[in-house]
Amino acid sequence: MSSPRPASPLVGARVLRDLVASATPPVLLDVRWALSTGSDRAAFDDGHIPGARFIDLDAELAGPPGPGGRHPLPSAGAFGESMRAAGVGRGSTVVAYDAGPATAAARVWWLLRHFGHEDVLVLDGGLAGWRAQGYPAESSGDGTESGLPAPRGDFRCGPAPSAGPGSALEAEDVPAFTARGLLIDARAAERFRGDAEPVDPVAGHIPGAVNRPTTDNVRDDGTFLPAEELRRQFGALFDGIGSGPDELAAYCGSGITAAHEVLALQIAGIPARLYPGSWSHWITDPARPVATGDR
């Protein structure tokens, strides 16, 4: 963990405004979504950052729910087609955003990294932060450019990385991983303990995991905590980054909010993997153990 810290995967609203106005603007992906209501195309149509394209998380950033969990990874073919249709090219800078805390935008960030595209950023504070600066928004019905089909990009899925952001941890590797590394459960504490489970049919957590909800990653305004504060908080999970495990990974209910945890770790300069199927996949096999309580 002593390697040089990578550049931040975040971009602020003021910097993004300048990028949008530049000669080579980024591809903007609006991925507003909530667990309780799903993808929010109506909110996008009502107002979005000029030039942004809407991405449906349930339909384009996940495969069909089933044995792989509630939000399994999309196929490379399906994901690549969605990105090309949104205008993403092999040389594109991509900026993803959602309503605010980046819970859904982190999924785009992680998937693009997973499929070999590293030039991707997340708007810190999301659309709420953009609007707080007084920057303009447009609606899909006002005759502006984003109401027209996006120019197709030439994005192609590449090989997934073997470590760090974009790398996946598979279920069969979880037991060995927890023996040598740190597996972080990004759900709310009551779901980790098994006190309540509003979504999945089994309550509890993966044995050996530790709990750190994604809500701890951000301030009240939806922007991320400073890198040094995130590094301090994550380090406290295993008595300091320097003496901690060599590998970290995160999971959640279905692999969405865990990407937010991996993003927060990356901001802190700590590479981590994602268990894409997460809890909703883990419990599809009754032979896999389940733990409850605080540990």
Q: How many distinct structural domains can be found in the chain?
A: 2
Residue whose entry in the numeric block shows the structure tokens 């305004």: 221
- pLDDT at position 243: 52
Provide the pLDDT for residue 247. 87
Please check whether residues 126 and 24 belong to one and the same domain. yes
Range of the domain at 137: 10-147
In a domain, 30, yes or no: yes
**89/248 Cα distance (integer angstroms):** 31
Do residues 127 and 190 both lie within one domain? no
- pLDDT on residue 269: 93
- Return the CATH number at 177: 3.40.250.10
Same domain for 203 and 112: no
Within a domain: residue 161? no
Give yes or no: residues 111 and 61 share one domain: yes
pLDDT of residue 5: 47
Q: Residue 142: what pLDDT?
A: 46
Q: Domain check: are 38 and 107 in the same one?
A: yes
Please list, residue by residue across 266-291, b when 16 or more beta carbons sit within 10 angstroms of its beta carbon and e when fewer do.
Answer: bbbbbbbbbbbbbbbbbbbeeebeee
Residue 166 domain-assigned (yes or no): no
Q: Which of 199, 196, 191, 204 is nearest to 286 (CA)?
A: 204
Residues 228-266 pLDDT 10s: 999 999 999 877 555 556 689 999 999 999 999 999 999
Residues (pLDDT < 50) of the chain are 1-5, 142-147
What span, in angstroms and rounded, lies between the C-alpha atoms of 186 and 39?
Answer: 21
* Domain endpoint, select from 147, 181, 208: 147
252 annotated active-site: yes
Would you say how long the chain is, in residues?
295
Q: Rounded CA gap, 114 and 68, in Å? A: 17
From the candidates 182, 252, 264, 274, which is the catalytic residue? 252
Predicted confidence at residue 58, as pLDDT, reads: 96
**In-domain check, residue 292:** no
Question: What confidence tens digit (pLDDT) does each residue in 16-52 have?
Answer: 999 999 999 999 999 999 988 899 999 999 999 999 9
